[in-house]
Amino acid sequence: MTQHRPSRRRFLGTSFAAGAGVAASRVWPGRAPAIVTAQSMRPLVPYGAQCGDVTDARAVIWSRTDRPARLIVEWATNERFEQRRSVQGPAALESSGFNASIDLHELPAGEQIFYRARFESLDSPGTFSEPVEGRFRTAPWMPRPLRVVWGGDVVGQGWGIDPSRGGLRMYDALRRAEPDVFVHSGDMIYADGPLQAEVRLDDGSVWRNLVTEAKSKVAETIDEFRGNFVYHLMDAQVRRFHAAVPMIAQWDDHEVVNNWFPGLRLDDDNRYQVKSASLIAARAKQAMFESVPIRRAADEAERVYRRFPYGPLLEIFVIDLRSYRQRNTHNRQTSAGGDATFLGLEQLAWLKAALRDSNATWKVIASDMPIGLVVSDREREGVPTFEAWANADGGPPSGRELELADLFAFMRRHAIRNTVWVTADVHYAAAHHYAPERAAFTDFDPFWEFVAGPMHAGTFGPNTLDATFGPEVRFNSVTRDLAPNRPPSDDLQFYGQLDIDPTTRALTVGLYDVTGRRLWTQELAPEG
């Protein structure tokens, strides 16, 4: 699993020389060749580069600059950049917050890809930024060892970057795990969570947040959402991680506002001048697609649900429990559709077809919310409402649970085996096993759900489980007497890891804390 990282000094030296050579040799009609004589003329790239949505032949490369400039990416299968290819990307303009992405094509399967990204000034063509480097490995065609890490919940509950306490340490722990891919399970930002400069801890010490203009209030404008996405990249550990590990991103509620759903009004939240959560969500989604390396679907430019085959051993299915849901209710409707909609008809049909058609041994469903854990919302009209699938009654499926019952029964009829669910959202780590002999609904095959996070946010005690699908707790990382909103300095920050052995095809699941200490593990043998 070890990946050899090229020397940064050597890499930047060769990249700078290549960039300077282009700048000196390019001649534009009617003008002399551009020669960089002042550092201020060069576009800056303060936030590095990110890679995402990698397949066996494609990858999205993202970066951001500080002025109108065009993104250019060079890539090769060796760190010397022999036989490199150069791809000219879009212009980064004010209208996109100076963000830009390139979707690389025709990459070789199962290969280590080295890339460097730079920007060419549009105001002074031929003037280039310094290059930023990165690497990733494309998905294989043949069986090989695979490692996936996942987690969610970053800079939540008032815990931002405190440089004196190591910053966003989880990203260094994830990088050291040397995964093939990272699944971000949502709450990539807390757009609804402004930061205070200082927070006093229980021991009397002070947590000192790095606070920016965008993180000093709730996000309502596109620029404020962009600023939330940029905030994490101020941490060098985060930039190093994204330069080494490709990401598969999904969203949840805090990319917009806590527990939001389409149509939600914020009339009673005095922090917001914009009262329509749907309007805020549209701005948040635009900023997310600008600021995160997500591939846009040809038929739905803002689609979040998608699938990623990783050869014969693994396929990852990303679902979206925000875009198509109806409002949060008592969640006990007796028929599907209407206010009980969560995945929605089109996404549910897509997921069924994708699972049925998959030839992968292991099918990992990345959900932004857990299945059996009860996640409550506020009372509305005197009635408790719910955020996730579960409705706390423990009986036959009702409300949003009807979509799950339909999906599980379909999977059983079509003998779709070896599925595991990974999620975050609840701010602790757990392992749940679901089985029909313990359940009120029995038309499904047993499966596992694994919970990770928070990566850098407040830690909370465990949620209660709804018995509808027969869950059993096999591991919890925290106890019920845990004081709420524990800071990252308590080391109660967690991530999950999946390892697949190409010889046995076994899947080994591990749950880890921010120090890299393994807390729990389970090996799963494949069926069939």
Q: What is the pTM of this model?
A: 0.92
Mean per-residue pLDDT pooled into runs of 10, the chain (528 residues)? 34 33 29 45 96 98 98 98 97 98 98 98 97 98 97 98 98 98 98 98 97 98 98 98 98 98 97 98 98 95 97 98 97 97 98 98 98 96 96 97 98 98 98 98 98 98 97 97 97 98 98 98 96
> What is the DSSP annotation of 24-46?
HH---TTSPPP----GGGSPP-T
Assigned fold of 146-524: Purple Acid Phosphatase; chain A, domain 2 (3.60.21)
- Quote the pLDDT of residue 321: 98
- The H or E element that residue 232 is part of is helix 222-232
Look at strands 471-476 and 507-513 and give their pairing: unpaired
Q: How many CB atoms lie within 10 A of CB 466?
A: 23
Assigned fold of 8-135: Immunoglobulin-like (2.60.40)
- Which ranges in the chain are annotated with CATH 3.60.21.70? 146-524
> What is the DSSP annotation of 465-512?
B-GGG-EEEEEESS-TTPPSSB-GGG---EEEEEEE-TTT--EEEEEE
Q: What angle do CA 45, 46, 52 make, to 5 degrees?
A: 75
- Which ranges in the chain are annotated with CATH 2.60.40.380? 8-135
Rounded distance, CA 112 to CA 76, Å? 9
Q: Could you tell me where the beta strands, DSSP code E, fall in 319-460? A: 362-366, 376-380, 383-386, 419-423, 430-434, 447-451
- Quote the pLDDT of residue 39: 59
- Quote the pLDDT of residue 315: 98
| The pair of three-digit structure tokens given for residue 331, joined into one six-digit string | 């969640």
Look at strands 306-309 and 314-318 and give their pairing: antiparallel
Q: Is 450 exposed, middle or buried (0-12, 13-18, 19+ CB in 10 A)?
A: buried
What is the distance in angstroms between the CA of the first residue and the CA of the last residue of the chain? 27
* CB-based contacts of 399, cutoff 8 Å, min separation 6: 329, 330, 331, 332, 333, 340, 386, 391
